């Protein structure tokens, strides 16, 4: 896993609609994916119907992690919902570039809703995944 960006944190209150989180690249090496498949208890390579390809939820997890590592979210933040679209199979060994940006930020009573738009591109700039994550945060 390679994080090419700064680790400085942005405060939640500084986030505005349209804010783009620093992009992050991952080389989806066999070792990295093997670690992931062990963690999620996925089928071994020989038995999998999609052998040789990256589990699509792994890419989503890397984008989410890249995003949350750059922002300071208050305790009590909940991952409320997730939308994902898998656009093409990603062979193991591919390098992907992950981007995310604030699509919506709304305060409702004692809660804040933060909707993040997610996207991953392969090394040929082909979109491999897009989606939206909704986080619910306690109002500050």
User: What is the rounded radius of gyration, in angstroms, for the C-alpha atoms of the chain?
Assistant: 16
Nearer to another protein, 61 or 103 (CB): 61
Judged by CB under 8 A, the residue of 4, 9, 79, 123 near another protein is: 79
Which span (9-17, 50-58, 96-104, 110-118) binds another protein, by CB under 8 A? Answer: 50-58
Judged by CB under 8 A, the residue of 5, 13, 20, 38 near another protein is: 38
Check residue 84 for interaction with another protein (CB under 8 A).
Answer: yes
State the Cα–Cα distance between residues 67 and 102, nearest whole angstrom. 10
**How would you write 67-132 as a 3-class SS string?**
HHCCEECCCCCEEEEEEEEECCCCECCCEEEEEEEEEEEEEECCEEEEEEEEEEECCCCCEEEEEE
Interface with another protein by CB under 8 A: which residues?
1, 32, 35-36, 38-43, 48-50, 53, 55-58, 60-62, 64-66, 68-69, 75-76, 78-90
């Amino acid at each position: 896993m390679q994080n090419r960006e700064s680790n400085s944190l942005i405060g939640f209150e500084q986030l505005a609609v349209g804010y783009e989180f620093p992009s992050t690249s991952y080389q989806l090496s066999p070792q990295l994916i093997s670690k992931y498949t062990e963690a999620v208890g996925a089928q071994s390579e020989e038995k999998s119907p999609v052998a040789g390809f990256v589990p699509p939820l792994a890419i989503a997890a890397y984008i989410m992690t890249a995003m949350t590592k750059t922002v300071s979210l208050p305790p009590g933040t909940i991952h409320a919902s997730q939308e994902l679209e898998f656009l093409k199979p990603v062979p193991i060994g591919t390098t992907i570039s992950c981007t995310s940006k604030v699509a919506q930020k709304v305060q409702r009573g004692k809660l804040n809703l933060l909707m993040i738009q997610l996207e991953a591109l392969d090394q040929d700039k082909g979109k491999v995944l897009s989606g939206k994550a909704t986080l619910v945060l306690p109002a500050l």
